[in-house]
Structure 1
Amino acid sequence: MHLSKIIRNVSIMTLAVLTLTACGNKAKDSSTASTEGNGKVTVETTGFPIVKDKLKLTLMAPNVGEAEWKDMSVLQDYAKKTNVNFKFNTPPQSDFGTKLNLAFASQDLPDIIFAAGKDNLTAANEVTYGSQGLLVPLEKLIPKYAPNFNKLMKEDPSIKKSITAPDGHIYSLPMIQRGANSAWYLGPLWYNGEWLQKLGVKELPKTADEFYDLLKRFKTEDPNGNGKADEIPLSDVKLDTTRPWLMSIFGLLSNDVQNDGDKVFYTPISNQYKAYLTYMHKLYAEGLLDKDTFSQSNDQKKAKGSADRLGVFQDYYSYFTTGRSTTEAINDPMWQPLTSSVSKKAVVPLNPRISRGNFSITKENPSPAASLRWVDYFYTEAGDFYLTKGPAGKIWVNAKNKEGKNVKVYASGVNADNVEDKRAKMTPAYGLTLPELSGTENTNYMIRSSADAPAIDDFTKFVNQETKEKIDPYGKVPFPLIYLKKSEQNSIDATANDLKTYVTQSEAKFITGVTPLSDWDKYVKTIEGMNVKQYVKVYQAAYDRWKAAK
């Protein structure tokens, strides 16, 4: 799951802050009301409710299939607090992009587009629909009606830099990620710790050759102990989640454009990429890479994990694949970056910690100010906790520890191993990127297993330490978050789609041996004939513009 919202344990402080202001805990005053739209809607600029009279809006968002949004207790409770109510249009996540495009094409738009994500409300979409007046510019409204988000932009200027379109407007608000896991480009690779123990492995591989040797041992030495040769050393689904990590062995962070210093290049025609393909073909040919990699579903891959057949795999946490407990998962070490003959310095892709395209207001919206106030609370630690963990009584309750302090503990029947199943039914903050300040590690917002348990549990400590040792020192953002001008986008639209399709298909063919690596030069010439020079030129110009922006 890309950038999924997963267990963030929380403690201390009740949600009484909801009755205070979302931006400074000042008592609400009638002087804070602001009339918008010729007196149609009066919006309170602090506190709750946001509007005195009930406001009904429409909201379009993807549904991951766990519950209907109208039935989610977080949204029901927040509607009462804010006086803002919604009619939800939530197509399945798999169909959402198509449905959103149809809404724009017909101009049958909702008031708010929520949790669309960068793959559905793309940077190009923002530029196009913004210039057509279908999306409302937000930059002038933000200081007054989204003070929490505005504060984050002032604290980190890269946020504004990364969400401002070439015309100077902000058309969409992002997820802002903080905390240890925010460094993850996506969920890491994990080793099967039980297999390592069975084979007596004391030190993890540090080079491509050492990794190969360990995968060979996984395949031939029966580490799952069932007497069958059924072990799969490495598995994925179309390499979509392991690719960024495995490419990094060869100094590459993306199968698209990447900047080396200030110079932009297209990685799939580089010598490093050829080395990556050569290595992966070797793994595939020797049965070290799952033969089903390019045909299986994610559920099929996870089924192999739960049957103890996988040695190295990707997931947000290892126990999502193995089915083990969090206590057992502490024994599954995180994969560490490797060096190779073509990349002597270890490097891994790093998340820019900004995920765009998650909250936009359309021209149909009767109150952009109220809409911004509604979302702005989620850009606070208290608001993010409320959005992801809900009000008291669902997955957490207040308790007093032995020192007499109020802390948050899991509600009856809830624990670290089943909390995600509970959350999936009560909040949209599950499997989606939402407009929020995500992942802060303030111990005031951590749920404890018991009143006197430590704020940070052993598993979280383990993951944080693994991240500190294996990702933080080696991380680099593959390419900054940029916008292309309309003319630039038009000049490479067809090229981008053709390149992506051809590179992805060719990768699978090279690795499986359908296309021999002796055809590399032919492959490069094909790409060079697909306007790749113009493609790189456009991204070089966008990078230069991004770097020069203030």
Structure 2
Amino acid sequence: MKKHKIIYGCATLLACLTLAACGGGGSKNSSGEDKSIEVTKKGFPIVDKKLKMSLMAPGSGKNWSKMETLIDYAKKTNIDFSYTTPPLTDFPTKLNLAFASGDISDVIFGAGSQNLTRAQEVDYGSQGIIIPLEDLIPEYAPNLNKLLEERPDIRKSITAPDGHIYSLPMISDGDIASWPIGPLWYKGEWLKNLGVTELPKTIDDFYKLLVRFRDEDPNRNGKKDEIPLTEAKLEVIKTWLMPAFGIFNGGIQVKDGKVSYSLTSPEYKEFLTFMHKLYAEKLLDPEVYSQADEQKKAKGQSDRIGLFPDYYSFFTTGEVAKEAVKDPMFQPLSKTGEDIITPISPQIQTGAFAITKNNKSPKAALRWVDYFYTKEGFEFLNQGPAGALWEWQTNDKGEKVRVFTDRVKDQEPEEARSAISPDYGITTPGRNITLPSIKEKPNDPEKTPFERFVKSETDKKIKPYGKVPFPIAYLTKAEQDRVNESAAEAKLYNEEMEAKFITGVEPLSNWDKYIETLNKMNIKEYTKVYQEVYDRWAKE
């Protein structure tokens, strides 16, 4: 069973690489470690005496204190957490306020590098607010340590320039780990109704298909109510359409060792020109910048949209997974249909788990999270304990298999899982692998038709064209200071102007003025710093 891992908005590869946010405040304090707490080095429980800790994480609207996974794990480990889980949209602000006040939880969980940025790690790490973990890992995180020894690239990616490891990663090794963000999906029934048997591979053919979506009543309801292309904001559409114009990241990217800032390039202007054309001709949803994801989903469930983003298509259409095999993944484009590129994830995310100075037992906290770097531990984190989402049954071959409990009968499995496990829609620490499916019936095949479909689409449409836009690399404090002011200012300005250019509020004839303004924000110095960062990373 797959999990809803990719988060929209800023929680994407694209956003993480666009422009780094400024570090926060706070004051340096001594560690709150209680050295009298005895921690076992293997097995469970982790501590003999019940230990209470606090944890802060992005929430999904579910009550973490009632999640069977966490309740069961508290009994297993003898560590009992209290949870602060503001909504994902509010989490960065709440986390920054907690850092600034000093009233920060013992553990930061599931933040990811978009919420606990590498700049913040270096800043708060240098102040002693986030504690370094590299000396504790060999003894108290043996599973992670084994992984770091086998994969030096992981250690390289999570080590700050001062030599410290301030946060633990999510390592993705599954079938869809290459996704930088959720895909775009075509409405398969519309394609069938229009007789489309091959998806467009060029920008021109893509445009022509959107026109057909608008004009030829593909939902067959006799109304002119079709919206060819939609999203809440534009993050996912940008991720998959910009490469058609030669840009594989909206911000800093590297090609043949040379770092560039793509949002001042002629290729980006071409992209904006194309998107404005789509907007002006009502091929792009007029509400793209004003609607929430819920409104997009409502349109999908009313059969009004032809191409749309979501982790899986049925999250938007309201269908069930087995029906979604008819909704094909977007085929990446280029001007000619050849030399296609797409961004892919480096499959390592920092910021998944950090321990703060307030933690009474960092060793126990590290032991607690280390379990998730095993197959058994990740399976437990993702699917929960027996009896909640799944139960053991025996198939006709005499094999024990996991089968959904009655709890799942009246709802989608992913919705049921979101109330059982915290590993839903956030960057949880651990080794994210493809797990054996939970079955509806004991004799069902190992993978569902939908899982096989998604793997096949990924293997055909993403992996062959993939390129990591920029490696995971930390800036030094001095480098961060050089880019902080221009980073925040330029990011806001670009977001504002991009929307204005696409909607026509600002004519693209003012492009030179846009470039001039960005140059005043010291974007050339920003790019120079990242060239230095890349050069250092390449030599390590």
TM-score, L = length of structure 2: 0.92
CA distance in 2, matches of 1:462, 1:89: 37
- Where does residue 441 of structure 1 map in the other structure? 434
Name the amino acid aligned to 1:545: R
Please tell me the root mean square deviation across aligned C-alpha atoms, in Å: 1.7
Contact 1:349 1:476 in 2 (8 A): yes
Cα distance in structure 2, aligned partners of 1:345 and 1:131 = 44
| Cα shift readout 1:3-61 (whole Å, capped 9, x = no counterpart) | 9438xxxxxxxxxxxxxxxxxxxxxxxxxxxxx97861211111111111111112122
| C-alpha contact 1:395 1:414 (8 A) present in aligned 2 | yes
* 1:52 correspondence with 2:48: yes
Where 1:358 maps in the other structure, the secondary structure is strand
- The aligned residue for residue 545 of structure 1 is 536
Cα distance in 2 between the residues matched to 1:455 and 1:466: 18
More off after superposition, 517-526 vs 89-98 = 89-98
Give the corresponding residue for 1:43.
Answer: 39
* 1:175 paired residue number: 170
What do residues 225-274 of structure 1 show as CA deviations (whole Å, max 9, x unaligned)?
01111000001122022111011111212211100110000001111111
CA distance in 2 between partners of 1:153 and 1:194 (Å): 46
Shifted more, 348-357 versus 112-121: the winner is 112-121
CA contact (8 A) 2:388 2:405 kept: yes
Q: Which residue of 1 aligns with 2:247?
A: 252
> How far off is 1:446 after superposition?
2.5
**Contact 2:65–2:71 (CA under 8 A) maintained in structure 1:** yes
1:291: Cα distance to partner? 0.8
**Equivalent residues of 2:35, 2:361 under 8 A apart:** no
The amino acid of 1:460's aligned partner reads: E
Alignment of 1:116 onto 2:111: yes
Query: How much has 1:420 moved relative to structure 2?
Result: 1.4
User: Equivalents in 2 of 1:415, 1:246: separation in Å?
Assistant: 38
Q: Contact 1:54–1:83 (CA<8 Å) still a contact in 2?
A: yes
* Unpaired runs of at least 5, structure 1: 7-35
Q: SS of the counterpart of 2:39?
A: strand
Partner of 2:280: 285
What is the CA deviation profile of residues 387-424 of structure 1, one whole-angstrom value per residue up to 9, with x for unaligned ones?
11111111111011111111111112426961112111
What's 1:465 paired with?
Answer: 456
Is residue 311 of structure 1 aligned with residue 306 of structure 2? yes
Matched, 1:371 2:365: yes
Amino acid aligned to 1:261: D
- For 1:351, the equivalent position in structure 2 comes to 345
The 1-side partners of 2:84 and 2:273 are apart by: 46
Q: Is the 8 A contact 2:389 2:420 kept in 1?
A: no
Q: Which whole-Å CA distance do the structure 2 matches of 1:45 and 1:318 have between them?
A: 44
Cα distance per residue 1:409-461 (max 9 Å; x no partner): 111242696111211112211121111111x235xx33122111111110000
Q: Which moved more, 1:213-222 or 1:478-487?
A: 478-487
Contact 1:358 1:433 in 2 (8 A): yes
Residue pair 1:326, 1:417 contacting (<8 A) in 2 also: no
Cα contact 1:415–1:449 (8 A) shared by 2: no
What letter is aligned with 1:492? V
4+ long deviations beyond 4 Å = 36-39
Provide TM-score, normalisation by structure 1: 0.91
Secondary structure in structure 1 of the residue aligned to 2:308? strand
| 8 Å CA contact retained: 2:33, 2:358 | no
Deviations 1:175-210 (A, max 9, x none): 111111111011101110000000000111010000
Judge conservation of contact 2:33–2:362 (CA < 8 Å) in 1: no
- The answer to whether the Cα contact below 8 Å between 1:230 and 1:309 also exists between their aligned partners in 2 is yes
Contact 1:4 1:433 in 2 (8 A): no
* Matching residue within 513, 519, 536 for 1:528: 519
Task: Flag the 1:201–1:413 CA change in 2: closer, same or farther, 3 A.
Answer: same
Paired-residue identity, %: 54
Give distance in 1, aligned partners of 2:213 and 2:391. Answer: 45
Q: Is contact 2:189-2:326 (8 Å) kept?
A: yes
Letter in 1 for 2:468: V
Q: Secondary structure at the match of 2:524?
A: helix
Q: Distance in 2 between matches of 1:363 and 1:37?
A: 8
Which residue does the alignment assign to 2:19?
none
What CA deviation, in whole Å up to 9, does each residue of 1:486-528 have, x standing for no partner?
1111111110011111111111111111111222222212212
Cα 1:270/1:415, change in 2 over 3 Å = farther
Tell me which residue corresponds to 1:22: none
- 8 A Cα contact 2:41 2:139, kept in partner: yes
Tell me, what secondary structure is at the counterpart of 2:75?
helix
Contiguous gaps of at least 5 residues in structure 2:
7-31
Three-state SS of the structure 2 residue aligned to 1:397 is strand
Deviation, structure 1 residue 138: 0.5
